[in-house]
Amino acid sequence: MARLAQTHGLTDVQQEILATVRDFVDKEIIPVATELEHRDEYPQQIVDGLKELGVFGLMIPEEYGGLGESLLTYALCVEEIARGWMSVSGIINTHFIVAYMLKQHGTQEQKEYFLPRMAAGETRGAFSMSEPALGSDVSAITSKAVKDGDEYVLNGQKMWLTNGGTSTLVAVLVRSDEGHPEGTAPHKSMTTFLVEKEPGFGEVRPGLTIPGKIDKMGYKGVDTTELIMDGLRIPANRVLGGVTGRGFYQMMDGVEVGRVNVAARGCGVAQRAFELGVSYAQQRHTFGKPIAQHQAIQFKLAEMATKVEAAHAMMVNAARKKDSGERNDLEAGMAKYLASEYCKEVVEDAFRIHGGYGFSKEYEIERLYREAPMLLIGEGTAEIQKMIIGRRLLEEYRFQG
């Protein structure tokens, strides 16, 4: 029935994967999502099902036990999953970013050790840049690693770790001045550490504490936490890529694919909002006819569907650009910016179409209304996307006069 958000030129394998995921979303996620979200309950059964489908290893190369699929396949799966419940796509997203960073930047030993476990969903990833005093301004990170023999000692506090409790591997970005004299540009003195830990809360490894879940307005079910490092000792072979000072670039590479992912989430949530709006508009009657027959409501539906199409097209374009091996920061920034803004608008329109019932927790749109704002913030706010887009445009359109 879904006419919107079609993707042309997919291979048979891609179509088969998507059909399987869509079927899973319709049968296993949508029927339980709102109830679990209201209880802020971790969707263990759904996660187990996705593990079985191989979703945790979708982009991990086949030689490491994954499916070796493209960013496009991955993003289209995320779009489907977010259509069912955005929190589930959040459970996969940080795992995917960490696996991607390992694939691109890890040493051979790190790839062989982590990627097969990640493909199976046994090791689950979280990534951590933000701190209590910073999110957008990553260069201001104050958490620090100091070398001590064959180990590094990490101290500092991190904030907003999606999957901070449930993950067993956290990619943590800290400042590491060793080998980088005073005055080195901040982004050249940062290092990503691969920190293994037990799942759960409290002291999950000597020197590492995950205090508990942050209570959020939406995006429930998935755990978001702080992380406190107090004399945390990490062996030197757990520096991502084996060399210090490259962490900022590694993280930015991860965030670039993460942005396509957040765009895909925006597309999925917007699609679901449209489905809910168009369905309700044909059932609710006012002034003797279904509200869908009032032109004002039809116009809303037209605008919503146009936004769903536009966001999908930009997200697919950004994913294909990365898959072709080209730099995609401009396209990813544009896709993330547009998809998250449109998502918020489409959700708002679907909410209005529901009248007073949209305000009731019995209706799914109430959940979407609390979820959409997260997309305006995660993987860089709208302002940060516009800074990236603007900078790239000035590079491309340099004044020649």
Ligand X SMILES: Cc1cc2nc3c(=O)[nH]c(=O)nc-3n(C[C@H](O)[C@H](O)[C@H](O)COP(=O)(O)OP(=O)(O)OC[C@H]3O[C@@H](n4cnc5c(N)ncnc54)[C@H](O)[C@@H]3O)c2cc1C
Residues labelled as active-site residues: 379
Please, what is the minimum distance in Å from the beta carbon of residue 162 to ligand X?
4
33 or 67, CB closer to ligand X? 33
51 or 386, CB closer to ligand X? 386
Q: How many residues bind ligand X (CB under 6 A)?
A: 22
Asked if 328 and 316 touch (Cβ cutoff 8 Å), the reply is: no
Helix/strand number for the chain, H first, E second: 11, 10
Q: How far is 55 from 370, CA to CA, in rounded Å?
A: 26
Q: Is 381 in the site for ligand X (CB under 6 A)?
A: yes
Asked if 221 and 87 touch (Cβ cutoff 8 Å), the reply is: yes
Binding mask 88-117 for ligand X (x = CB under 6 A): ------x-----------------------
Q: How far is 115 from 107, CA to CA, in rounded Å?
A: 11
Binding mask 38-77 for ligand X (x = CB under 6 A): ----------------------------------------
Helix (H) / strand (E) element for 162: namely strand 151-162
- Site residues (CB under 6 A) for ligand X, limited to 224-253: 224
The residue within the footprint of ligand X, chosen from 115, 350, 378, 385 (CB under 6 A), is: 378
Would you give the DSSP letter of residue 63? Answer: G
Please, what is the minimum distance in Å from the beta carbon of residue 131 to ligand X?
8
Q: Which listed range, 40-48, 112-120, 287-295, 380-388, lies at the site for ligand X (CB under 6 A)?
A: 380-388
Q: How far is 200 from 165, CA to CA, in rounded Å?
A: 5
Position with the least CB separation from ligand X: 135
Please, what is the minimum distance in Å from the beta carbon of residue 112 to ligand X?
26
Binding mask 118-147 for ligand X (x = CB under 6 A): ---------xxxx---xxxx----------
Return the structure tokens found at 359. 């305000």
Q: How far is 38 from 242, CA to CA, in rounded Å?
A: 43
Closest-CA residue to 323 (of 315, 360, 190):
315
**β-bridge partners, 158:** 227
CB neighbourhood size of 62 (10 A):
11
The residue within the footprint of ligand X, chosen from 110, 143, 162, 385 (CB under 6 A), is: 162
Helices 247-283, 364-377: axis angle to 10 degrees equals 150
182 or 215, CB closer to ligand X? 215
The dihedral over CA atoms of 80, 83, 88, 92, expressed in degrees to the nearest 10, equals: 40
- Site residues (CB under 6 A) for ligand X, limited to 165-224: 216, 219, 224
- Write out the residues near ligand X by the rule CB under 6 A: 94, 127-130, 134-137, 160-162, 216, 219, 224, 374, 377-378, 380-381, 383-384
